[in-house]
Structure 1
């Protein structure tokens, strides 16, 4: 039994870590290490778990987890962010007078980092969580009455989050989801080389305009080391970006061991990273909170909306079963919540973060010139695709925007009448 399986069993039984530790008659700290993988689950402990929980052991095929998160708060009040957002104590954090991303100071607890530039209030505060930082925050969640990512994300939408009657602009700028394809005895893992070949053969329908890959070997420690294959869909600058790679080779290089030993130790074959930035990150959380669906289901939706993989069978193009066997077996992000729209926050935050600066610039120029010429030019302007996408951000459902299949007939009709748009720009 692996740590991911133990955590899955506990979540499915809706038990807290402290409740599980009592059932197994072990210390909570010891149990936490079992679930995080810091302590191995012995055969004796596995038998005890099976007996106490009355379960049939079935290993997960794919583990999904939040692997990177970046949130910006337009405030300089670090202590309130730490206490109200993270539910942590300011005294736990270490302070340094240096930072990253043009910030000048850092507050950190392990891999949980907060950046601030006290000389620039417009930059606000940036919460930066690497994969390890996400795991550490999850441990804080466990100790905080079994808090979850669901509750964390909802807290970002509270109007008076700081409890001071001051609305603080919060902007989710990036969120990464990592899907680890695990090694299960008796089951084959997906071959990423086959996906590369299918891309080259035209057997993958994708919404991405860019595809790239790398691999090969490098000379390290006096010998040639296989770096494994990496596939890239989209670009690092785009709001949606996929990176699929052979995780077993990466772990082998990192820990200076053979690939076979890395597979035995970590039981991971491939990793599929889904990176969402700016509006896509914002919409991901928006749709998660408003739909009531679990995160693993939403990740499947994003992948399936972006990639359709086929193979040739009896001369006909059919869906590639080996690929969908991976996507359909996600485990680990079973965090569902009753769907509830975050009121008008989506509209207001989108306007604040993406539209308002440009509109204010136009208004100021008009005022300075004492004319209405610029606004008249706006009325005569012909909207392009990127402008329509901005309008959709305000008016169309988050699901359609996130998955790239927006189709709002009422909005289209209104725009055609109001702006006399040509058919080629309709959506």
Structure 2
């Protein structure tokens, strides 16, 4: 544990240095020295801090998996996508003259689906993998010299993706990651009703503006069946969305089994699902590749950046031990493998997908009017927060943007100086 971690924990709990020192039964000056980096935290002190603040997490067993993936390739060449990207045989796929999402054709192998509209090259090809489709593709990976998701995603960054000397614009539009909390003898699983109550009691700090839940019973097969509790953070239309639910009850309804038998069969209690779309999906993959970390670690870090859960102990606020037994209270990114940063091509792809259309519109209007008035107005415009976020999207590390704390002070200072110079020498 580092001094900056201790300071973050103290601030999250709303404690002053003397209040934290009192809980730890040490001098306030020692807290100050630790947080400023003048003193290190001994193993004995770290153990005491974790015990007092309830930071001894990561007890419960969890398993992370990709549960949904959607990738668009701006090409109509289905066969090459199947052979070069999926490493599969075109002959394995069945073709139908109907599709989804405004596509008119479907090529499918089990739950691995590819959509195409041959009348619209701008729509390209959409690779659509449900949870079952992801599992089927993983089986293909195993047969393909133990290929992995990491290798699959790295292949999407290749400049000559199809080996034809043609640059293919590739866009990851959505990815869902599921963190399953397993049922293990001797471990106590987290009760999602507890998280719901803490939300209602104001014991959860969150970056989300929307929270909803669903539960109750349904009349099925002549009897009332418990649907289980589902918690929703954010909006389905937003680029980041959480869905935490009692997976054991969902499986019991689906397979028409008792909850007890379902738990014995699948050994899963809760599922913590994060859904990332558009920019967030793009950033997650970049972060995944550049950090070299495991999926479960990254999911926990995203959840930690969005939710902080507390409980009251002896009239004092501490971190919720049962929650962090599952999620962990991270001390910052621990790089296990130093991954290579994706090339500048990833930035150009972001510009193509999210910014270039607006710039092209401005350019066409400016050319049509035969003046430079629009560009002059752009130079004089004041950037708002949403515009600065767009600049950060290109200039700030993927991790900071993904976790919602990205900023680039050097860039801000540079832009400020540039604007000051323009005003000084304007005539």
TM range (shorter): 0.7 to 0.9
1:410 corresponding residue in structure 2: 410
1:123 corresponding residue in structure 2: 123
1:232 corresponding residue in structure 2: 232
CA distance in 2, matches of 1:395, 1:184: 44
- Give the TM-score normalised by structure 2: 0.81
2:11 corresponding residue in structure 1: none
2:252 corresponding residue in structure 1: 252
Matched, 1:345 2:345: yes
Tell me the alpha carbon deviations over residues 331-389 of structure 1, each in whole angstroms, 9 at most, x when there is no partner.
xxxx9754111110221011100000000001001111111121122122222221111
1:136 corresponding residue in structure 2: 136
CA distance in 1, matches of 2:293, 2:347: 21
Cα–Cα, structure 1 residues 233 and 256, in superposed 2: closer, same or farther, change >3 Å? Answer: same
Cα–Cα, structure 1 residues 327 and 259, in superposed 2: closer, same or farther, change >3 Å? Answer: same
2:36 corresponding residue in structure 1: none
Tell me the alpha carbon deviations over residues 8-41 of structure 1, each in whole angstroms, 9 at most, x when there is no partner.
xxxxxxxxxxxxxxxxxxxxxxxxxxxxxxxxxx
CA distance in 1, matches of 2:77, 2:213: 43
CA distance in 2, matches of 1:131, 1:63: 14
Q: What are structure 2's unaligned runs of at least 5 residues?
A: 1-58, 421-427
Local SS of the residue matching 1:75: coil
Q: How big is the alpha-carbon RMSD for the aligned residues of Structure 1 and Structure 2?
A: 1.7
CA distance in 1, matches of 2:191, 2:419: 50
CA distance in 2, matches of 1:69, 1:227: 26
CA contact (8 A) 2:60 2:188 kept: no
Local SS of the residue matching 2:95: strand
Structure 1: 4+ residue segments shifted above 3 A = 335-338
CA contact (8 A) 1:61 1:329 kept: no
CA contact (8 A) 1:150 1:336 kept: no
CA distance in 2, matches of 1:141, 1:171: 21
- Give the TM-score normalised by structure 1: 0.81
CA distance in 1, matches of 2:296, 2:212: 26
The answer to which structure, 1 or 2, has the higher relative contact order (CA under 8 A, 6+ apart) is 2
2:44 corresponding residue in structure 1: none
Aligned residues: 358
1:101 corresponding residue in structure 2: 101
Local SS of the residue matching 1:257: coil
Within a 5 Å distance, the mapping from 1:47-62 to structure 2 comes to: 61-62=61-62
Local SS of the residue matching 1:174: strand
Shift of 1:397: 0.8
Q: What are structure 1's unaligned runs of at least 5 residues?
A: 1-58, 421-427
Shift of 1:251: 1.0
